[in-house]
Structure 1
């Protein structure tokens, strides 16, 4: 066994070469980011799955990350994060930030030399739709680099409960052959057209409904 300390997240390729016996093979492995977004803590996820050892910790972390991505695909950012976006519209009354809900606007900075940088205090941002506009009614001239904070300071209990249900639903694939199926009782799935296939059961969708993004947002 060889220990190799990585310094960068992402896909890594490795080639091992041996002299005794003469042999070689290639492999690859993924290094996750240092703090991937997670709606559930490892402790809460293990408690819900009734896991008391560390044997499955890495696998559970991976599932929690996947569950988080699924929920945020429906509801927008839940875990608080800093977002940096480029908006190239030359002269418009509003710009629409892409990840909602918005917690705060940090900066709106001109990208090109001689461009207009806007003071955050002179702007209004709609936290739900992500629409940013000038308080004086004037236009915004890009290209602009916009930095803001998105997510939820307080995660609603319904979202946390839905995350646990989805985690349990997906973890069942470890307990036997096959995959989560349509029409299997407590974990029925009847909204595969939403883009999540068999991943999100009805009971979780029902909990998430009040927090889903409005049509056309996100």
Structure 2
């Protein structure tokens, strides 16, 4: 499961000889490669069990990390990966709400619940756009355009418009945006031109019950699907059927969730 940004990851590796026996090595090195390509080599110690090594790494960057263990005397190697989530992952449901809906009384599965809760958020936002408010940055190349259409809606506010071609920047107080369509335009009726880097916040300051209800249905569907037949449905036998695959999501979203999301569904591309 992903680690929180700033958490300590305990890395472990086993050095085995060609016959598969745990063996104390002459040297042991572990290298963590960060998402930006930089590499860090934390200090390695051998545990009380000969041939088993560990190292602690404090996470500093969200994203996918690679771990590479290398031993000599005997020569051995081992590669693994781990993920670090953003400081504020965009979950629609709190961990407490997710745990309660899944009827989980213990906290032992919290890591797994958080994983599927984040996956649920991505599934919901596939249909309705950003739910949890957060910042996005996009580049647009426009030439004498009446408006620039931002890719994620609903838009809360545009926070910066930067020209990347040396032209004069557009002042924010001279611009306005349509929250629902994402159209950014000049208040004086003038045209927009150039390559622009636009930073804005999108999401919902208030989340309606149809969205949180759909999130609960999708979460339970994903939870029960990946756990096989362990445990029943929260309400006992609800319809979690999925009649047809959905482009980009397969069979991840039940029909009942789609019906709840319908009032906030994004218009089809090109419409």
TM-score, normalising length from structure 1?
A: 0.88
- Closer/same/farther in 2, CA of residues 70 and 135 from structure 1, 3 Å limit: same
- Residue 59 of structure 1 pairs with residue 118 of structure 2: no
Q: Which has a greater percent of strand?
A: 2
SS of residue in 1 equivalent to 2:145: coil
Equivalent-residue separation in structure 1 for 2:244 and 2:168 (angstroms): 45
Equivalent-residue separation in structure 1 for 2:74 and 2:160 (angstroms): 59
- Residue 98 of structure 1 pairs with residue 128 of structure 2: no
Equivalent-residue separation in structure 2 for 1:26 and 1:195 (angstroms): 30
- Residue 161 of structure 1 pairs with residue 213 of structure 2: yes
Q: Indicate conservation of the 8 Å contact 1:84/1:148, yes or no.
A: yes
Aligned-residue offset at 1:53: 1.7
Which residue, out of 195, 212, 219, partners 1:143? Answer: 195
Q: Indicate conservation of the 8 Å contact 1:116/1:141, yes or no.
A: no
For 2:182, the equivalent position in structure 1 comes to 130
For 1:84, the equivalent position in structure 2 comes to 137
Aligned-residue offset at 1:217: 7.3
- Closer/same/farther in 2, CA of residues 14 and 110 from structure 1, 3 Å limit: same
Aligned-residue offset at 1:206: 0.7
Cα displacement string for residues 43-66 of structure 1 (whole angstroms, at most 9, x for unaligned residues): 110000011222111111111111
Which residue, out of 173, 183, 199, partners 1:121? Answer: 173
Aligned-residue offset at 1:71: 0.7
How many corresponding residue pairs?
Answer: 211
TM-score, normalising length from structure 2?
A: 0.72
Q: Which has a greater percent of helix?
A: 1
SS of residue in 1 equivalent to 2:143: coil
Q: Indicate conservation of the 8 Å contact 1:110/1:145, yes or no.
A: yes
Aligned-residue offset at 1:194: 4.0
Which residue, out of 245, 257, 260, partners 1:207? Answer: 260
Which residue, out of 163, 167, 176, partners 2:228? Answer: 176
The structure whose RCO (Cα within 8 Å, separation 6+) is larger is 1
Equivalent-residue separation in structure 2 for 1:147 and 1:86 (angstroms): 9
CA RMSD of aligned residues (A): 2.2
Which residue, out of 69, 72, 87, partners 1:16? Answer: 69
- Closer/same/farther in 2, CA of residues 217 and 31 from structure 1, 3 Å limit: farther
User: 5+ residue gaps in structure 2?
Assistant: 1-11, 13-53, 230-236
Equivalent-residue separation in structure 2 for 1:128 and 1:89 (angstroms): 21
User: 5+ residue gaps in structure 1?
Assistant: 178-183
Equivalent-residue separation in structure 1 for 2:176 and 2:244 (angstroms): 36
For 2:47, the equivalent position in structure 1 comes to none
